[in-house]
Structure 1
Amino acid sequence: MALKILISMFFLIPFAAMPVSKAQDYDEEKPAAPPPAQDHCNGIFLSYVFVSREREYPFLKNVSAQAWAFRSLATVLNAGTTELKAWKIFIGFQHREILVSASGAVLVDHGDLPAHVGRGAYLAGSPKTDLKTSIDTAGDFAQIQVKIDLTGTLFGVKPPRIPMPKTIRLVNDGYRCPAPHIPRHSSTMYTCCVMDPKFKLKVLKTKYYPRQSGDLTISYDIMQAYDSNYLAQVTMENNNPLGRLDHWNLTWEWMRGEFIYTMRGAYTYLKDGSGCIYGDAGEYYKDLDFSQVMNCQKNPVIVDLPPDRAKDDKVGDIPYCCRNGSLLPTIMNVTKAKAIFQVQVYKLPPDLNKTALYPPEKWKIVGILNPNYKCGTPLRVDSTEFPDPSGLQAISIAVASWQVVCNITRPKNRETRCCVSFSAYYNDSVIPCNTCACGCGDFKKCNRFAPPLLLPPESLLVPFENRTLKAINWAKIKHFHVPNPLPCGDNCGVSINWHVNSNYGNGWTARITIFNWEEINFEDWFLAIQLKKKLSRGYEKVYSFNGTLLQNLNYTIFFQGLPGMTFLTAEENGTNPSDPKVPGKQQSIISFTKKYNPGITITKGDGFPSRVYFNGEECVLPTRFPTRNGGNQCNVNQVVVVFSTLVTIFLMTNHLH
């Protein structure tokens, strides 16, 4: 008995000697142990653990405004029997969080870190994009699990409250995630996402993720690999019939200290080796001549070469390069829907072997006046095959390949760059582009929320800043209300007027005019129109453009310039210094038949488009249509019809000269 007591005291002494303290949650450094629920998950187990927080400067009495530095840990574990390819999760942050770092993942749908994620954040794997199964790896957690250390700032939640997100879920197709479980007074949430039994799982016939389709696809192919560097070829292909890029700018983010040594087929805006000299690259490559380095930025901006460098054996001389940044839709030119450039990349430790290959992340591409493209994360795909450069009937294969898919997103309110005005033969006022259609600019002296003033037709020929007097005088004549202050302008670089020109028994016509208020020319421009009730099916002819009816694309009418008229010229100064600037313009009449839509009513708005695209950019439409004036149409509108005809003749004559 005495021996048992002595043994018990022996084990109790160390624990009794240990100091006991009750620290607040922001002093805690170790995350909670994995919840036992993961042992019962047959799918993808997700967990989020709030680890710590610490009060940040400035210290404020206002609790809701006080900032706290936080640290948390998100975990993605493949506890199922199917490999998870290209994992992606959503964390529903809700406390005005600003994410500063996320190790083991990249932030999707946001800009560079730090990023405001108070409405939630999508995270994708980097560099570990795929999670294998425990069965295939003998339970190797390094291959079936990824842990994401998150640090950032949140607001307004002081201890003892725990600032947990609303939810956490897997975004990959084919999975269903129940609402996450949060034990009471816990800093942990977790859920088990399982395969949807109705989802047809595709059996992969390739080693890597299958290639995806998208509006713009980018292939990053490693052509040659060495211990310290590699040669990559970047191929961009425009797959959307209405997609387009002019003077494209491509950027990405190096995640492992890489830098660009040389390029062919493109170049970076900044050629500067100082970032390498004073960084880790300068420490390792002590004998490298950094004056010859193309770019050392973490986020290089890459642009296309001009056409005169296409045959330059030093910087050009590769297929599909050197087009001044133009990527056209295939309906216009198949060969100009593709662009290629090559880049030689130097690596840093610990990646100094031939197989340590990682693509850059956070791809972005923009044009001058083009659609907004949203790019996904690079996915490892089967190596791209190329014709052998020797000319023999052989195929060469890339060392490794990744694919980036970019899709067009609709522009947000007041963030587009082109707009549409409406007018008709049966109403003598023009409904102009919406107030602040393309942004408000300086709105201190104008009203951002007032509807635009109706205009006389001739005012479309002058810039917005020169229309004020015309608009006010027109309002007085027509007894329209004039707000004070006056509405802001549309601030668009390109505006399009759609005018219902005539309406008769078995058909109708419209006149379309494109105005270029920018200081640049638009080469190989195009315009696409979609009409309500599929009225486009009645399209017959366009007289001054090339026109094509794309039946498989919601009956879109695709217009482009005739040979010799493919340039939409820039805005120019008037004849006299005091004259307003003159926009570049193109115009044509379009005829339609009512054969396929016998019940349409042109005078009630059926003759106006539902969507308009210029060079791929979706333009903002007015919120109303012209209505028929009271009384006899001919008596009231005869003057307007005559004036519209004169304007048409003037524009066409001016264009021909």
Structure 2
Amino acid sequence: MKMNPFYFVVQRSSHILFSFIFLCFLFSSISPSFGYDPLDPYGNITLKWDLLTSDTASNYVRVSMLNFQKYRHIEQPGWKLGWDWKGDEAIWNMLGAEATEQGNCSRFKGGQLPHCCERTPSIVDLLPGTPYNMQTTNCCKGGVLSSMIQDPSKYGSVFEMTVSSATKAGFNMPENFTIGVQGYTCGDAVPVAPSKYSLDGRRWTQALGTWNVTCMYSQFLASTTPKCCVSLSAFYNSTIVPCPKCSCSCQGLPGAKCLNSGETPSLLREIKDKNREPPSLVRCSEHMCPIWIHWHVKQSYTSYWRVKITVHNQNIVKNYSEWNLVALHPNLKSVVQVFSFNYEPLSQYEFINDTGMFWGIKFYNDMLLQEGAGGNVQTEMLLQKDPGMFTFREGWGFPRRILFNGDECVMPPPDQYPRLPNIGQHDAKFSIVAIFFSLLLMMLCA
């Protein structure tokens, strides 16, 4: 039977069309807000809601914000928790936190008015030094949450509140949670096993209900451009590899603000709001990054080698408090000593130990000051050479990845890494020169 060749063309085209539609559906089904970090696969911020008491008049709730991320923290101006009530709930009083707006409480007549009547309240942490009668345990840090490794004693924040509804008794968990920090997306509230509490370790009380809300970080949501870049150098090569051009932005592009050397920002233009992160204003450079990190292979000994790391703050209007840096390098499993920085291996996959976290020493260099003479911190690190894998060739002495405050930094292309001099070519040139002088000497002596 003779087949029409047009049939095969149509059939093949239909297969291609269906494949294209399937791929479009697949990519469209992947949420751009999803953030998975292979260096911290279980890292998240968890909001735990405990319903402690409930009656026909009111509900007493304890809310805990727990940062389960190894190296990503929340710095000033801190978190700002928000949600949507499902009904006409109002917050009557709070301990350990406060609502930024009271809202319209006209539906409540006479007597004391609620603390907040907003359907979408915005809750902020209290500041250090708050009177004791307004505090709860682990409150009052100004919204700052440390990471699990950097300061485990400050990774959580707790507040309590009394909530009631004018139309119905009982308690309904709110929805649409946000924490007011760029890059974080929160899921729905999930009921979990009720929390248990004890004052003396002998008698335990139990919450009437407990819900968890998980918030994940995505660098793509936090910023459309990178926030840091890396430059490289080594003692065995005179070449200094700079940050890639336009790593974070390009001069002349819309919205790319920078100041040349010697210029200062206008105080009237750069008004600082304590409740908002200051705008990024950097020194003009080819990379235009607020943070510039330099990795220098400094020295080589018989059994050890030394690295110097310098972090430069190019941001003119911002200090980085409790900063941290994460580096990935195969020789980090053999760190001997780190000078003037704290260091902790991450060991995210147990048997693989090629990633480490650096951060400043408290009251010494945990604050990375804004651009200027003091706008940098530096350390030196001593590593032991592993005879089975160590070499300076092909850029092995430089890191594979670097993150600053949890954000990926732009690395130079691998083919630009400083290389060892080619010894073979050097020896060949030396041999030719030696032969030439030998022949010249023989001719003079003849």
Same fold (TM over 0.5): yes
- For residue 261 of structure 2, the aligned residue among 450, 466, 470 is 466
Number of the residue aligned with 1:222: 51
- Give me the whole-angstrom Cα distance separating, in 1, the residues matched to 2:386 and 2:244: 32
- Residue type of the alignment partner of 1:380: P
CA distance 1:589–1:236, change in 2 (3 Å): same
Structure 1 residue 402 displacement after superposition: 0.6
- Give me the whole-angstrom Cα distance separating, in 1, the residues matched to 2:140 and 2:378: 31
- Give me the whole-angstrom Cα distance separating, in 2, the residues matched to 1:597 and 1:341: 54
Asked whether the 8 Å contact 1:304–1:321 carries over to 2, the reply is yes
Asked whether the 8 Å contact 1:436–1:491 carries over to 2, the reply is yes
- Give me the whole-angstrom Cα distance separating, in 1, the residues matched to 2:400 and 2:119: 42
- Give me the whole-angstrom Cα distance separating, in 1, the residues matched to 2:173 and 2:244: 43
- For residue 615 of structure 1, the aligned residue among 393, 398, 405 is 405
Number of the residue aligned with 1:594: 385
Structural RMSD (CA): 3.6
Number of the residue aligned with 1:297: 118
Residues 1:333 and 2:130 are matched in the alignment: no
- Give me the whole-angstrom Cα distance separating, in 2, the residues matched to 1:397 and 1:336: 25
TM-score, normalisation: structure 2: 0.70
Residues 1:308 and 2:159 are matched in the alignment: no
- Residue type of the alignment partner of 1:307: P
- Give me the whole-angstrom Cα distance separating, in 1, the residues matched to 2:242 and 2:156: 39
- Give me the whole-angstrom Cα distance separating, in 1, the residues matched to 2:348 and 2:254: 46
- Give me the whole-angstrom Cα distance separating, in 1, the residues matched to 2:120 and 2:48: 18
Number of the residue aligned with 1:571: 370
The higher-RCO structure (CA 8 Å, 6+ apart) is: 2
CA distance 1:312–1:538, change in 2 (3 Å): same
- Residue type of the alignment partner of 1:565: Y
Residues 1:521 and 2:330 are matched in the alignment: no
Q: Secondary structure at the match of 2:194?
A: coil
- For residue 109 of structure 2, the aligned residue among 279, 282, 286 is 286
Q: Secondary structure at the match of 2:333?
A: helix
Superposition pairs of residues 431-450 of structure 1, within 5 angstroms:
431-432=242-243, 435-437=246-248, 443-444=253-254
- Give me the whole-angstrom Cα distance separating, in 2, the residues matched to 1:322 and 1:596: 51
Deviations 1:627-653 (A, max 9, x none): 349789xx9xxxxxxxxxxxxxxxxxx
Structure exhibiting the larger radius of gyration computed from Cα positions: 1
- Give me the whole-angstrom Cα distance separating, in 2, the residues matched to 1:392 and 1:220: 22
Asked whether the 8 Å contact 1:414–1:436 carries over to 2, the reply is no
Number of the residue aligned with 1:401: 210
- Give me the whole-angstrom Cα distance separating, in 2, the residues matched to 1:540 and 1:250: 42
Identity across aligned pairs (percent)? 25
Number of the residue aligned with 2:233: 423
Deviations 1:531-588 (A, max 9, x none): 1xx221232211221223333454222222235314324326xxxxxxxx44521101
Structure 1 residue 515 displacement after superposition: 1.9
Q: Secondary structure at the match of 2:150?
A: coil
Residues 1:362 and 2:176 are matched in the alignment: yes
Aligned length: 362
CA distance 1:445–1:304, change in 2 (3 Å): closer
CA distance 1:427–1:301, change in 2 (3 Å): farther
* Ranges in structure 1 where 5+ consecutive residues have no aligned partner: 1-91, 96-117, 123-212, 447-462, 468-486, 573-580, 636-657
- For residue 197 of structure 2, the aligned residue among 364, 368, 386 is 386
- Residue type of the alignment partner of 2:132: D
- Give me the whole-angstrom Cα distance separating, in 1, the residues matched to 2:366 and 2:403: 17
- Give me the whole-angstrom Cα distance separating, in 2, the residues matched to 1:434 and 1:296: 51
- Give me the whole-angstrom Cα distance separating, in 1, the residues matched to 2:394 and 2:207: 59
Superposition pairs of residues 175-186 of structure 1, within 5 angstroms:
none
CA distance 1:340–1:422, change in 2 (3 Å): same
Structure 1 residue 603 displacement after superposition: 4.5
- Give me the whole-angstrom Cα distance separating, in 2, the residues matched to 1:296 and 1:598: 64
